[in-house]
Each structure stands twice: as structure tokens, then as C-alpha cells.
Amino acid sequence: MIIDHLDNGLHYTALHPGFLAAFRYLMSSQSAPLPAGKNSIDGDRLVAIVASENGRGHSGARLEAHRQYIDVQLCISGHEEIGWRSLAECHDSTQAYDADRDIEFFADIPQIWTPLPPGHFMIFYPHDAHAPLAGEGPTQKVVMKVALQW
């Protein structure tokens, strides 16, 4: 897991070939609103999901993990908080891995709860189980789905 301010996003582009396009897209959110919903940026390799949702609090947020995509999650507004636990320490799967949706859910409890203020992003690799929308109230965010195999 990585957390930083969007202004520093380009410092991470060497970590994955899709990160340059992902961060350029995220940085465009500073000058104009992004279209809501699922937006293909580069076919299935890079997708942006722009959503406004209410936080679920710690008790309502579920750990999830992905195998085919890296998540880059940017909070645009509201109070987002995300839980984290190493996938290797998740043992209580509540929904088996769904390859079509690239997701598995767990009943395990996050080890760390991290606020994600507006203008900040977190990167979650497949070894990072994460529980998004653990804050309270309305939150607007962008989740970039970056294909692991580029």
C-alpha cells in the first residue's frame, strides 16, 4: 500500500507502465469534473470508476482483494477512510474469488485504518486486502483499475 498527495503522483510512474496514464487522468480531475461511472481509458488495461457513495463506517466496510488489477484510489471530496490487511493474513473468505469481477471478499478485520483526505490517493496491489468506504458521510472518489499484466 502506498499513500500520498496527488501532486506527487508522477513520482510513482516508474512502478508500473500504466501509472503514467492513470495519474495524468487523476490529475485532470483537479481542473474539470470527471464523468461519473465506469470510463475506459485504455481498453481493459486502464479503467476509471468515478462514484459518489456514502461511507459505511468501520463496521460496514469489507476487506476485498484483486488478482488482475492494481487499485489507485483518489478521494475527491468527503471523508474517506480505508482499512488494510496483508492478503497473506486473510483467512476468512466470505465470497470466493470472482474472476469476471476480479474480486474476493473477506470477513477478516483490517489491521490498519487510514484516513484518505481529499486530494490524496492510495495504491493497493494484489497482496493488499483493503476495505474502502470506511469513513462517514458522502464521499466522491475515483478508483483507477490498472491491469497488473500490461
| Residue 58 zone, left/alpha/beta (φ > 0; ψ -120 to 50; rest) | alpha
Contact 56, 132 (CB under 8 A): no
Q: What pLDDT is attached to residue 32?
A: 75
Q: Which residue intervals of 46-113 are DSSP H helices?
A: 57-60
Residue 100: give the domain boundaries: 2-147
Angle (nearest 5°) at CA 139 between 63 and 79:
80
Give residue 29's pLDDT.
74
Per-position pLDDT tens, the chain of length 150: 999 999 999 999 999 999 999 999 999 876 678 888 999 999 999 999 999 999 999 999 999 999 999 999 999 999 999 999 999 999 999 999 999 999 999 999 999 999 999 999 999 999 999 999 999 999 999 999 999 999
Asked whether the beta carbons of 78 and 137 are under 8 A apart, the reply is yes
Number of domains in the chain: 1
pTM of the model: 0.95
Show the cell assigned to 145: 483499475
pLDDT at 132: 98
What CATH number has the domain bearing residue 32? 2.60.120.370
Report the SS3 class of residue 144. Answer: strand
| Cβ atoms < 10 Å from Cβ of 44 | 10
